[in-house]
Amino acid sequence: MSPSLRSSSAAAPPPDPGADPGWEPRDPTLPARRTPARPRRSLPRRLLRAALGLFLLGGVLLAGGLVAGYLLVSIPAANAAAVAQSNLYLYRDGTVLARDGEVNRENVRLDRIPLTVRQAVLAAEDRDFHTSRAVDPKAMVRAAWNTVTGKGRQSGSTITQQYVKNYYLGQEQTLTRKAKEFFIAIKLEREKTKDEILQGYLNTSYFGRNAYGVQAAAHAYYGKDVERLGTAEGAYLAALLKAPSAYDVTTHPENRPAVLARWGYVLDGMVKEGWLTAGERAALRFPDPQTARPATGLSGQRGYLVQAVEEYLTSRGIVDEKTLAGGGFRIVTTLDPDRQAALVRAVEDRVTHRLDPAANPTDRYVRAGAAAVEPATGRVVALYGGIDYTEQYVNNATRRDYQVGSTFKPFVFTAAVQSGAQTQYGEPITPYTLYDGTDRRPVEGWPGVPYDPANEDGESYGEIPVSAATDLSVNAVYAQMAVDVGPAHVRRTAVALGLPAATPDLTASPSIALGPATASVLDMAQAYATLAAHGRRGDHTLVTALSRDGEPLPLPSTEPRQAVGREAADTTTAVLRGVVETGTGTAAQAAGRPAAGKTGTAEDDKAAWFAGYTPELATVVALMGQDPESGAHEPLYGALGLPRVNGGGPPAEIWARFTREALADTPVRDFDLRLMPGAALPEVPPTPDGLESEGDGDEDGEGDGDGWYDTGEAGPGPAKRPGGKRRP
């Protein structure tokens, strides 16, 4: 053995007894051994593991996000647009008068919506609504895929999600809104029943034609309430939900094939779900909707009518202003559409169409107001507020700033009969009682400031009976009568008949008889209606039914009550018949019916009135002078080409035309009067002027020589009338 080998062998360390028994020291003379490499995993396996890890991580994050979203997203308050509703005003026959808001919506309870209409909507939008969850993830994914691949934008939303979008959120297409919709829908399903959600959906969905909700849609497309919709009509409204504007066949007739296909799809869905039989489906025909109409605004008379109704509701405490402004009210008025139209025509015929401001500057001042009331019920059947609400906002039917003039005089006589008043000489006041009608005669028995009213045109009449003084509207007579009765009692009687106690200038003084009070046309119509109803007053009403969101609301009782005695009211009616037959209101005879009435003129001829009634209808008409720029009251001298405008002119002509047309289908009926003792008047028909036969001047053929003729009636005082005409 060589030394080198020996030294190497000698230098080798001894084996470690604690080492692995299989360990052997490497022989440095041998080539190094390679450690076998560990086998590597394939790339697909690595990717799979990574994907699995990401999926698990994503699942954890998604679950966390869902939990966080559910906890963080709460059900918000309804958005303003969803709860905004217009107030719906209807005529007494149920036809639409007006809507006073931009949003055409009227919420209804689910039980008002026919079952087939509800089922049609479900067939169109969510057939599994009653059995499925609030959200459908598969449908959402499918809709997203179809949108991405160009098959059209689809929502994949259930009815619950659509309701959340309509009611709580908005229509913006964002991921944030969609996420909120998702969580709110889940929570909502835990808090509301399916029926509550469906009701909300049907009241918030847009159907086109500015109609929000199925009730508004029923009126917009078929002119009826939702409960009157048939299956075919309901299916069409359901079809509209997909594309309201495009599927309106009246505005887009070119889309009719698509509309019919969608309508058929809805009906076929109802058959598939067992809600409709195949036979019923086959019998249905497409229900063409009515032609689209412009949105109903407040132009023309509508604004005045709405204003009057709102004032009626708020002034009586039925609804406060703030609540009414919140909308959602369905208001059935007492207004009759035919009589309303007749009143408008009468004003246009006798006044509006005759105005020529370019040629006659005074015509710029003319304003008209009118109101008609049923005496038996107190219901207001027609109002005229002005030429157009969008041009003249002040309602001439309800304003209280023009003197009523001599239309107040009948209340003085009613008070006299009601109280059994006597003259200064101790004579009972009846239609025959004589008064001194001298112009500027100072009143007697008044302890206040001396008062000597002028008669119209300064005319003096000497001794004149009350009936004739009424016909001729003699101020001197009625100022004295007011003192004889007692101005305070006159005021109480006017209020009892229907004038508001707060009427401006309704002051207990002798001048009260001449009508300085500024009651409205509607106030006066109620008071005259009380006279026509034999003294029974039914507080005038403009509303017969009121509801909100389908819930009826109470209205005050309008049960008539005896305001003044029947004899007082009926005797006043008998006197007022003379005004129409032979006095200042003869133009009212053109109505062709027995009528009673009174003319009136405000101070300085700034207003002219005619208040009259038949047994069936009391109507008051006034023309008023107002500068359209300054708003100042102006005289009507020269208006309509007339030297003076008085109550016996255009106002009485309007009254006659309206009354004739409004009562055209009503049998002619005479007054059934019960007069005060000694006040009965002979039933002799009037004799036309110039045709009196010889010996027809009085009962015995002999005149009294002073222009007055005895009627032969035995009464407390002589029954004499000017001009040799008998009292009919």
- Is the pLDDT score of 692 beyond 80? no
**Cα separations (Å) of 265 from 125, 126, 250, 260, 269?**
11, 13, 20, 8, 6
- Cβ proximity of 612 and 528 under 8 Å: yes
Look at 233 and 9; give whichever has higher pLDDT.
233
On whether the CB atoms of residues 229 and 218 are closer than 8 A, the answer is yes
Tell me the mean pLDDT in the region 146-161: 57
Rounded average pLDDT over 122-133? 87
**Cα separation values, 719 from 281, 422, 567, 712, Å:** 80, 17, 19, 8
Q: How far apart are CA 379 and CA 639, in angstroms?
A: 33
Residue 443 · residue 509 · CB < 8 Å: no
pLDDT over 90 at 690, yes or no: no
What does the pLDDT read at residue 63? 54
**Distances from the Cα of 449 to the Cα of 306, 412, 424, 492, 515, angstroms:** 44, 20, 18, 22, 18
Mean pLDDT, residues 125-146 taken together: 67
- Residue 39, pLDDT > 70, answer no
Helix (H, G, I), strand (E, B) or coil at 622: strand
Q: Which two tokens stand for residue 150?
A: 């160009």
Question: Who wins on pLDDT, 69 or 607?
Answer: 607
Predicted local confidence at residue 297, as pLDDT = 77
419-to-412, 436, 445, 490, 562 alpha-carbon distances in Å: 11, 22, 18, 10, 15
**Selected residue with higher pLDDT from 369 and 167:** 369
Task: Using the Cα atoms of residue 40, residue 43, residue 45 and residue 51 in order, give the sign of their dihedral.
Answer: positive
Is the pLDDT higher at 147 or at 571? 571
| Partners of 485 in the β-ladder | none
| Residue 673: partners with Cβ closer than 8 Å, 6 or more residues away | 570, 571, 573, 574
Q: How far apart are CA 98 and CA 335, in angstroms?
A: 12
Task: Out of 125, 181, 310, 581, pick the active-site residue.
Answer: 125
Spell out the long-range contacts of 43-52 with Cβ–Cβ below 8 A and sequence spacing 24 or more.
none
Rounded (10°) CA dihedral 373, 374, 377, 379: -40
pLDDT of 168 higher than 60: yes
Looking at the predicted structure, is the pLDDT value of residue 93 above 90? yes
Among 632, 620, 623, which residue's Cα sits nearest to residue 596? 620
Q: In the prediction, which pLDDT does 663 show?
A: 98
Question: CA nearest 420: which of 652, 716, 36, 164?
Answer: 716
Q: In residues, how long is the chain? A: 728
How large a percentage of the chain has pLDDT more than 90? 61
Phi-psi region of 473 (alpha: psi -120 to 50; beta: other; left: phi over 0): left
Instruction: Give the per-residue pLDDT at 138.
Output: 59
pLDDT of amino acid 368: 98
Please compute the mean of the pLDDT values over residues 321-326 and round it to a whole number: 80
* pLDDT confidence bin for 723, thresholds 50/70/90: very low
In degrees, to the nearest 5, what angle opens at C-alpha 592 toward C-alphas 586 and 598? 35
Question: Which two three-digit tokens encode residue 76?
Answer: 């918000």
Query: What's CA 95's distance to the chain center, in Å?
Result: 11
Percent pLDDT > 70 in the chain is: 76
Q: At what angle do helices 175-191 and 43-72 cross, to 10 degrees?
A: 60
Note the helical H segments in 537-673: 566-581, 650-662
More confident residue, 29 or 328: 328
**Cα–Cα distance between 290 and 405 in angstroms, integer?**
49
User: Which residues in 289-375 belong to E strands, given as ranges?
Assistant: 329-333, 366-373
The angle subtended at Cα 462 by Cα 460 and Cα 467, nearest 5°, is 95
Q: Report the SS3 class of residue 547.
A: strand
* Helices 521-532, 566-581: crossing angle, 10 deg rounding: 110
pLDDT at 464: 97
- CA 579, 584, 585, 587 dihedral sign is positive
Residue 724 has pLDDT above 50, yes or no: no
Q: Catalytic residue among 86, 157, 406, 511, which?
A: 406
Is-catalytic flag, 406? yes
Reading the block at residue 436, the tokens are 């001194």
Q: What is the pLDDT of residue 164?
A: 76
What are the pLDDT digits (tens) for 633-642?
Answer: 999 999 999 9
CA neighbor of 473 nearest in space, from 371, 370, 404: 404
Please give the structure tokens belonging to residue 484: 């004889």
Query: Across residues 646-675, what is the average pLDDT?
Result: 97
> Residue 610 is encoded by which pair of tokens?
């005619």
Instruction: Give the per-residue pLDDT at 722.
Output: 32
Distance from C-alpha of 249 to C-alpha of 211, rounded to nearest angstrom: 16
Question: Using CA atoms, how far apart are residues 631 and 625, in angstroms rounded to an integer?
Answer: 9
Query: Average of pLDDT values for 532-546?
Result: 94
Instruction: Flag the least confident range among 163-177, 205-219, 356-370.
Output: 163-177
pLDDT greater than 80 at residue 680: no
CA dist 60 and 25 (Å) reads 54
Residue 356 has pLDDT above 60, yes or no: yes
The first and second tokens of residue 127, run together, are 């057939």
pLDDT in tens, 420-465: 999 999 999 999 999 999 999 999 999 999 999 999 889 999 999 9
Strands (E), 650-712: none
Q: Alpha-carbon distance 666 to 593, whole Å?
A: 11
557 annotated active-site: no
What tens digit of pLDDT does each residue of 207-233 get? 988 888 999 999 999 999 999 999 999
pLDDT at residue 660 greater than cutoff 50: yes
Instruction: Please name every residue paired with 464 in a beta bridge, in sequence order, or none if there are none.
Output: 435
Q: CA–CA distance from 658 to each of 91, 482, 698 (Å)?
A: 19, 33, 36
Beta strands 96-99; 88-90: pairing state:
antiparallel
- Give backbone dihedrals phi and psi of 537, rounded to 5 degrees, phi first: -110, 120
Whole-model pTM?
0.73
Helices then strands, each counted (H, E), the chain: 22, 16
User: What element of type H or E holds 81?
Assistant: helix 80-83
**CA 635 to CA 644: how far, in whole Å?**
9
pLDDT tens digits, 94-110: 999 998 877 778 889 99
Q: What is the mean pLDDT of residues 60-85?
A: 54
Name the average pLDDT for the chain: 83
Among 132-136, 394-398, 550-554, which is the least confidently predicted range? 132-136
H/E segment holding residue 260: helix 256-272
Residue-wise pLDDT tens digits, 273-304: 999 999 999 999 999 999 887 665 788 999 99
Distances in Å between the Cα of 60 and the Cα atoms of 51, 52, 54, 205, 630 are: 14, 12, 10, 37, 75
